[in-house]
Structure 1
Amino acid sequence: MTKVYVLHENSEWTVHLTKRLEELQVPYEEWHLDQGIVNLTEAPPEGIFYNRMSASSHTRNHRYAPELTSAVLAWLEHHNRTVFNGSNALRLELSKVLQYTALEASGIKTPKTIAAVGKENIVKAAQELGESSFITKHNRAGKGLGVQLFHSIEGLRAYIDGPTFEEPVDGITLIQQYIKAPEPYITRCEFINGKFQYAVKVDTSEGFELCPADTCQIDDMFCPVGETQPETRLTQPKFQIIENFNDPIIEKYENFLKQSEIKVAGIEFIRNTNGDIYTYDVNTNTNYNADAEKEAGRYNMLQLAKMLKAELEKKYFKVESV
Structure 2
Amino acid sequence: MTDLAILYEHPAWFTPLFAALDRRGVSYAALMPDGHFDPANRMAPAPFVFNRFAMSSFLRAGEHPIFHTMALLDHWRRAGAQVINGPEVLAIDASKARQLSLIASLGLAVPATRVVHRAADVVAAAATLTFPLVVKANIGGAGAGIIRYDSMDELRAAVADMTLPNSIDGVLLVQDYVPARDGKITRIETLDRRYLYALDITGAGTFDLCPADACQIPGAPIPMVSTDPAPELKQAAEAIARAVDLDVGGVEVMIDDRDGTPRFYDINALSNFVAKPLDVLGWEPHDRLVDYLIARIEGARG
TM-score, normalisation: structure 2: 0.92
Counterpart in 1 of 2:240? 256
User: Would the alpha carbon gap of residues 50 and 206 (structure 1) be closer, same or farther in structure 2, given more than 3 Å must change?
Assistant: same
Structure 1 residues 169-248: aligned runs within 5 Å: 169-204=168-203, 207-217=206-216, 221=217, 229-230=219-220, 238-242=223-227, 244-248=228-232
User: Would the alpha carbon gap of residues 186 and 293 (structure 1) be closer, same or farther in structure 2, given more than 3 Å must change?
Assistant: farther
Whichever residue aligns with residue 259 of structure 1, its letter is: A
Q: Which one has more relative contact order, counting CA pairs under 8 Å at least 6 apart? A: 1
User: Would the alpha carbon gap of residues 110 and 206 (structure 1) be closer, same or farther in structure 2, given more than 3 Å must change?
Assistant: closer
Per-residue deviation, residues 138-180 of structure 1 (Å, max 9, x unmatched):
1011111121222211112233444754322111111001111
User: Would the alpha carbon gap of residues 246 and 80 (structure 1) be closer, same or farther in structure 2, given more than 3 Å must change?
Assistant: farther
Distance 2:204 2:82 in 1: 41
Counterpart in 2 of 1:271? 255
CA contact (8 A) 2:44 2:80 kept: no
Whichever residue aligns with residue 264 of structure 1, its letter is: V
Note the C-alpha offset of 1:205. Answer: 5.5
Distance 1:133 1:267 in 2: 24
Counterpart in 2 of 1:286? 271
Structure 1 residues 1-322: aligned runs within 5 Å: 1-61=1-61, 63-128=63-128, 130-162=129-161, 165-204=164-203, 207-217=206-216, 221=217, 229-230=219-220, 238-242=223-227, 244-273=228-257, 274-291=259-276, 293-316=278-301, 318=302
Note the C-alpha offset of 1:196. Answer: 0.5
User: Would the alpha carbon gap of residues 104 and 48 (structure 1) be closer, same or farther in structure 2, given more than 3 Å must change?
Assistant: same
Compare 250-259 and 18-27 and name the one that shifted more.
250-259
Distance 1:213 1:164 in 2: 29
CA contact (8 A) 1:9 1:33 kept: yes
Distance 1:111 1:216 in 2: 24
The alignment yields a C-alpha RMSD, in angstroms, of: 2.0
Whichever residue aligns with residue 266 of structure 1, its letter is: G
User: Would the alpha carbon gap of residues 160 and 293 (structure 1) be closer, same or farther in structure 2, given more than 3 Å must change?
Assistant: farther
User: Would the alpha carbon gap of residues 307 and 62 (structure 1) be closer, same or farther in structure 2, given more than 3 Å must change?
Assistant: farther
Distance 1:164 1:305 in 2: 44
What secondary structure sits across from 1:290 in the alignment?
A: coil
Distance 1:127 1:112 in 2: 12
User: Would the alpha carbon gap of residues 295 and 95 (structure 1) be closer, same or farther in structure 2, given more than 3 Å must change?
Assistant: closer
CA contact (8 A) 2:47 2:80 kept: no
Distance 2:229 2:2 in 1: 38
Note the C-alpha offset of 1:63. Answer: 3.4
Distance 1:166 1:311 in 2: 40
Distance 2:62 2:229 in 1: 37
Note the C-alpha offset of 1:182. Answer: 3.0
What secondary structure sits across from 1:12 in the alignment?
A: coil
Whichever residue aligns with residue 253 of structure 2, its letter is: F
Unaligned 5+ segments in structure 1 are: none
Q: How many pairs align? A: 301
Unaligned 5+ segments in structure 2 are: none
CA contact (8 A) 1:185 1:203 kept: yes
